[in-house]
């Protein structure tokens, strides 16, 4: 889902198995910031990771292949 006020931010319903604990629900926030894509699975910034545009294209192509 996108937020009307910020077209560069999406929230994806996901699950997490951080540190080997039981799989649990989390909201994955994906944002485009200064040409990079940031993935923040806990909305806190403490576990966020980023990919550059080339990395994002690789991910896009993989998802396109997997989802058909």
Residue 2 has pLDDT above 50, yes or no: no
Q: Please, which pLDDT band fits residue 5 given cuts at 50, 70 and 90? A: confident
pLDDT tens column, 12-57: 988 877 766 667 788 889 999 999 999 998 777 778 899 999 999 9
* Entry pTM: 0.74
Q: What is the per-residue pLDDT for 4?
A: 58
Residue 1 has pLDDT above 50, yes or no: no
For the chain, give every domain's residue range: 2-67
Buried b vs exposed e over 21-51: b needs ≥16 C-beta within 10 Å? eeeeebebbebeeeeebbbbbeeeeeeeeee
Average pLDDT over residues 51-65: 94
């Amino acid at each position: 889902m996108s937020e009307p006020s910020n077209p560069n931010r999406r929230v994806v319903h996901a699950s997490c198995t951080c540190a080997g604990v039981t799989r649990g629900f989390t909201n994955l926030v994906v944002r485009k910031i200064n040409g990079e894509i940031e993935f923040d699975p806990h909305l806190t910034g403490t576990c966020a990771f980023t990919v550059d545009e080339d990395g994002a294209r690789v991910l896009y192509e993989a998802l396109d292949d997997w989802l058909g």
